[in-house]
Chains A and B, each alone.
Chain A
């Protein structure tokens, strides 16, 4: 008995040491090599691994493109992908790992705000540049006192803009009654829903009802029955495509005629086009866009991964490109210098020409798209 216990302890210790030793040795030295290390933190396990997968794909795509073109500053880029589970503790561990063990100076990630916020604090503390592709929560780039974290950027719209775009669009179309559904546990959805409700009323509309659900729900019939009963003309549902597919299918079953509207979370090849027919959503770019960077991106991604890129992949691709462009602009492999360069960067990304405002949010225009007759069609473009 006792022997077994000792044995287990020894095995555990040996494992821990084996893992520690080489890493500790190479840690600081490797940072000076002739590659630039860039880390990507994605939720590859946990509740939303599919988002992690897309993000990782977008990231890797950008890295491969730059490497094929000779890297940055004459150095090749060494990508390091780490799993952050969309949860605070593993995300912090992953961030600490890439910073301390691998000596990374740049992080692209995390996807979920609930993981990006603690990571942003680590990044800020250790002087590592972080750009989150998709975290919409204002707290990611802002300190509690309202000052900007100088090492933290994001590549996505924050809540107010997309909510405003859709509210304006809905009232321009002559709709006056809207019903808002939002995921109580998801700040992306919640933020958009709040802004939409507020702006829609400002434009003279009426919110005839609003309901919350949780991210793990699959049965929306109780809420949809209320939607049907409320006489709403618009159902605003700014969630990801997986929820839209379920809601749209059930709405059809319940004979709901309200037009569904949403945000960039809809953008995915997995969106159930038949069920969501007639719905509108705001997005970063239109698939009809003829700019080279868009055409290139969509065709290359489709070729490599067999599906058109979703919003997460696009934003990860953009975020990574923005980072590399900033490094090149700065001319040195130094996180603080790159951050300064990033602030004044203007880059032609897939989602339009991007510049950053004082709170490190991107300034870029949005488009409104419609799901119609089995395809996604461009409807309108809205500048910030």
Chain B
């Protein structure tokens, strides 16, 4: 107990130091906006990747859908702040708030019913959930529009800057919640698939989301998102402080989650699903909850991202880019929180920062030749990731290290 407290204190002091130093450097102008934008993007990438690491690294579900949830979170949050800043209306906020509440409620109610019925197959349950969610969305949209004006008036009581920041924070959280709820619906049937098939289905999800965003103005009816023309008019209010606090919260939540009985169940599923089932662990439940939490962080990061450059374009979420968080997670070390954070920062700083500076005139195109080469060399030298399963003491005390798995062993097991 004593040790835990000590490491916690060390961790928090360290975090405050890191935050303070970076913040001071930014304020003093030593870190100029070139580097600070990269640092913000790196922080966001760290949160997305932490979400993915939870799903893949700790729970063993190979997901390529993280960028889909990232996109959902980004566009959701952006729509809320857009309506607030440009249209001076809290309608986006209230509608999405009502949707997230009512959909959550519907899911809980239906879950209550479904869990009582023995032998309900997943697809039937999925159909039920889908129907319930659609009804909830229908009601929520009406309710949200109804309370939009009073809520706008309420926010107008606050000073303008404060109101905007509060709306922004709520928007970011709602982005995460909506992403989480979508991931629940999507994950329900898809999580029954075996690992690689799950990966492919989630890849499909990312592509479907991208196609929908390309047509967000024509087919979904969100004119302000402008489809493939790119959404403008989003306030640029994400700062290092916001990103850092959300990152810190993400780390602490994941650490505490892993430290709980939930966490042990989650990790046990990664280690051996059959053994976990026979120990009485509800595998489907834990898989779903991990997927939802991981996607929640994806959506949250999306909300933060949307307010960095104030511009969203569907191409940012194309499937080639959706490998980025996967690369970061594997690069940092599967199942290592420290590794993911380190790799996210290293990846962004090197790829967007250092490589831009050190490449001589005329060699700009070599950036993407050097990047994969570095990736290749690193993977060959350290196949278990840069940090392997190293953790800083704060996290190490609770996470059981990853079992060293060999490919042959995995194959052998799959064949058996």
Chain A residues within 8 Å of B, Cβ to Cβ: 1-2, 4-5, 8-9, 12, 15-16, 18-20, 23-24, 27, 44-45, 47, 49, 80-83, 86-90, 92-94, 96-97, 99-101, 113-114, 117-118, 121, 126, 137, 139, 144, 184-187, 190, 214
Interface size class of B (residues with CB under 8 A): 35 or more
The reply to whether A88 and B311 contact each other, CB–CB distance below 8 Å, is: yes
The reply to whether A83 and B346 contact each other, CB–CB distance below 8 Å, is: no
Q: Given A101-B32, A187-B229, answer yes or no on A16-B367 (Cβ-Cβ < 8 Å).
A: no
Which residues 204-240 of B sit at the A interface, judged by CB distance below 8 A? 214-215, 227-230, 232-233, 236
The reply to whether B309 and A89 contact each other, CB–CB distance below 8 Å, is: yes
Besides A20-B35, A88-B315, A96-B34, 13 more A-B contacts (Cβ < 8 Å) are: A5-B386, A15-B350, A19-B353, A80-B361, A88-B312, A89-B41, A93-B356, A96-B32, A96-B37, A101-B32, A137-B229, A144-B232, A185-B228
Q: List 5 A-B contacts (CB under 8 A).
A: A24-B30, A82-B356, A87-B315, A94-B356, A96-B34
- The reply to whether the CB of B275 lies closer than 8 angstroms to some CB of chain A is no
Shortest C-beta distance, A48 to chain B (Å), equals 11
Chain B residue contacts of A94, Cβ below 8 A = 356
Q: Which 9 A-B pairs have the closest CB atoms?
A: A96-B34, A100-B32, A118-B311, A144-B233, A83-B364, A185-B228, A100-B34, A19-B357, A114-B313
Chain A residue contacts of B364, Cβ below 8 A = 44-45, 81-83
Which residues 1-56 of B sit at the A interface, judged by CB distance below 8 A? 30, 32-35, 37-38, 41
Chain B residue contacts of A88, Cβ below 8 A = 230, 309, 311-313, 315-316
The reply to whether A93 and B365 contact each other, CB–CB distance below 8 Å, is: no
Chain A residue contacts of B353, Cβ below 8 A = 16, 19, 93
Bound state CA distance, A190 and B229, in angstroms? 9
CB-nearest residue of chain B to A94: B356
CB-nearest residue of chain B to A78: B361
Which residues 344-399 of B sit at the A interface, judged by CB distance below 8 A? 346, 349-350, 352-354, 356-358, 361-362, 364-365, 367-368, 382, 386-388, 390
The reply to whether A15 and B361 contact each other, CB–CB distance below 8 Å, is: no
Bound state CA distance, A24 and B28, in angstroms? 12
Chain B interface mostly helix, strand, loop or mixed? helix
Chain A residue contacts of B357, Cβ below 8 A = 19, 23, 97, 101
Chain A residue contacts of B32, Cβ below 8 A = 24, 27, 96, 100-101
Bound state CA distance, A80 and B310, in angstroms? 26
The reply to whether A49 and B365 contact each other, CB–CB distance below 8 Å, is: yes
Shortest C-beta distance, B145 to chain A (Å), equals 23
The reply to whether A184 and B309 contact each other, CB–CB distance below 8 Å, is: no
Chain A interface mostly helix, strand, loop or mixed? helix
Shortest C-beta distance, A153 to chain B (Å), equals 18
The reply to whether A187 and B228 contact each other, CB–CB distance below 8 Å, is: yes
Bound state CA distance, A45 and B371, in angstroms? 12
CB-nearest residue of chain B to A186: B228
The reply to whether B229 and A139 contact each other, CB–CB distance below 8 Å, is: yes
Q: Given A89-B316, A100-B32, A117-B232, answer yes or no on A5-B387 (Cβ-Cβ < 8 Å).
A: yes
Chain B residue contacts of A20, Cβ below 8 A = 35
Bound state CA distance, A44 and B369, in angstroms? 12
The reply to whether B315 and A114 contact each other, CB–CB distance below 8 Å, is: yes
Which residues 74-105 of B sit at the A interface, judged by CB distance below 8 A? 86
Q: Given A23-B357, A92-B309, A93-B37, answer yes or no on A87-B346 (Cβ-Cβ < 8 Å).
A: no
The reply to whether B310 and A121 contact each other, CB–CB distance below 8 Å, is: yes
Shortest C-beta distance, B389 to chain A (Å), equals 9
Chain A residue contacts of B236, Cβ below 8 A = 121
Bound state CA distance, A93 and B352, in angstroms? 7
- The reply to whether the CB of B342 lies closer than 8 angstroms to some CB of chain A is yes
The reply to whether A118 and B356 contact each other, CB–CB distance below 8 Å, is: no
Q: Which of A4, A45, A184, A190 has a CB less than 8 Å from the CB of B365?
A: A45
CB-nearest residue of chain A to B311: A118
The reply to whether B214 and A185 contact each other, CB–CB distance below 8 Å, is: yes
Bound state CA distance, A88 and B382, in angstroms? 32
The reply to whether A184 and B232 contact each other, CB–CB distance below 8 Å, is: no
The reply to whether A16 and B354 contact each other, CB–CB distance below 8 Å, is: yes
- Interface residues as binary, B125-153 with A (CB distance below 8 Å gives 1, 0 otherwise): 00000000000000000000000000000
